[in-house]
Copies of this chain bind each other. A is one copy, B any other.
Amino acid sequence: MDSIVKAGKQVFAFEEGDGKNKKLLGGKGANLCEMTQIGLNVPPGFVISTEACLSYLAASGEELPKSLLDEIDAQMKALEIKTGKRFGDAAAPLLVSVRSGSAMSMPGMMDTILNLGLNPQTLAGEIAQTGDPRFGYDTYRRFIQLFGKIALDISDELFDAELSAVKLDRGIKEDLALTADDLKEISERFLRVVQEQTGRPFPEAPYEQLILSVKAVFRSWMGKRAVDYRREFHITPEMANGTAVNICTMVFGNRGNDSATGVGFTRNPATGENHIFGEYLVNAQGEDVVAGIRTPKPIDYMATEMPDLFRQLQELRAKLENHYHEVQDFEFTIERGILYCLQTRNGKMNTTAMVRTSVEMEKEGLITRRQALLRIAPDSLAQMLFPRLDPAAKDRPLAKGLPASPGADFGHAVFDADRAEEQGRAGKPVILVREETKPEDIHGFFASRGILTSRGGKTSHAAVVARGMGKPCVAGAEGIEVNVTLRQATIGETVIHEGDIITIDGTTGMVYLGNVPTIEAEITDELNTLLGWADQEARLAVMANADTPNDAKRALQLGAKGIGLCRTERMFNASDRLPIVLDMIIAEDTQQRQIALDRLLPIQRGDFKGLLETMAGLPVTIRLLDPPIHEFLPSEQQLIKELAELQHLHQTVSGMEILSNTLDLLGDAELSAAEVAQVKSGTISSHLVEQAIEKKQTILKKVRALHEVNPMLGHRGVRLSVTYPEIYAMQIRALAEATVECVREALDVHPEIMVPQVCTSVELQYVKRMVDKIVAEVEQASGVKVKIKFGSMMEVVRACVRADSLAKEAEFFSFGTNDLTQATFSFSREDAENKFLPDYIDQVILRDNPFEVLDTQGVGKLMKLAIEGGRTTRPDMKIGICGEHGGHPASIMFCHQIGLSYVSCSAPRVPIARLAAAHAKLNEG
Contact = CB atoms under 8 A, between A and B. Distances in A.
A760 B828 contact: no
Interface string A830-851: 1110011001100111100000
A699 interface: no
B823 A715 contact: no
Contacts of A737: none
B801 A862 contact: yes
A226 to B, nearest CB: 29
Nearest to A758: B826
Given A710-B713, A828-B713, A858 B722 contact: no
Given A797-B824, A826-B757, A857 B710 contact: no
A802 B858 CA distance: 7
A831 B801 contact: no
B710 A828 contact: yes
B826 A709 contact: no
A717 to B, nearest CB: 9
A72 interface: no
Contact of A822 (B713, B795, B830): B713
Contacts of A797: 797, 823-826, 858, 862
A711 interface: yes
Contact of A845 (B713, B715, B760, B836): B760
Contacts of A844: 762
What is the size category of the interface that chain A forms with chain B? 35 or more
Contact of A712 (B713, B825, B830, B845): B713
A277 interface: no
A715 B760 contact: no
A715 B831 contact: yes
A766 interface: yes
A638 interface: no
A798 interface: yes
A719 B828 CA distance: 12
Contacts of A840: 719, 722
Interface in A780-808: 795-798, 801-802
Interface string A699-740: 000000000111111110001001100000000000000000
Given A843-B722, A843-B766, A708 B836 contact: no
B862 A713 contact: no
A819 B824 contact: no
A827 interface: yes
A905 interface: no
A712 B710 contact: yes
Contacts of A802: 857-858, 861
B709 A831 contact: yes
A303 to B, nearest CB: 60
A560 to B, nearest CB: 29
B828 A826 contact: no
Contacts of A859: 798
Contacts of A836: 715, 719, 722-723
Contact of A714 (B722, B766, B828): B828
A759 interface: yes
A762 B830 contact: no
Output the residue of A711, A714, A723, A826 with the most chain B CB within 10 A. A826
Contacts of A713: 710, 712-713, 822, 826-828, 831-832
A535 interface: no
B819 A826 contact: yes
Contacts of A830: 709-710
Nearest to A842: B722
A763 interface: yes
Given A708-B831, A828-B710, A722 B801 contact: no
A464 to B, nearest CB: 14
Contact of A762 (B825, B831, B845): B845
A845 B714 contact: no
Contacts of A839: 722-723
Contacts of A823: 797, 823-824, 826
Given A766-B843, A845-B722, A858 B801 contact: yes
A808 to B, nearest CB: 14
Given A713-B713, A839-B722, A839-B723, A824 B801 contact: yes
Contacts of A846: 760, 762
A708 B762 contact: no
A865 to B, nearest CB: 9
Q: With a 10 A CB-CB cut-off, give which of A709, A763, A839 has the most chain B CB atoms.
A: A709
Contacts of A723: 835-836, 839
Contacts of A828: 708-714
Contacts of A832: 713-715
Nearest to A861: B801
A708 to B, nearest CB: 5
A758 to B, nearest CB: 10
A334 B764 CA distance: 62
**Nearest 4 A-B pairs (CB), nearest first?**
A710-B828, A713-B828, A798-B858, A710-B710
Given A710-B710, A797-B823, A801-B857, 13 more contacts: A710-B828, A710-B831, A711-B831, A719-B836, A757-B826, A759-B824, A760-B845, A762-B844, A797-B825, A797-B826, A798-B824, A801-B824, A823-B826
18 contacts: A710-B828, A712-B713, A713-B826, A713-B828, A713-B832, A714-B828, A714-B832, A715-B836, A719-B840, A722-B843, A723-B839, A759-B858, A760-B858, A762-B846, A766-B845, A797-B797, A797-B826, A797-B858
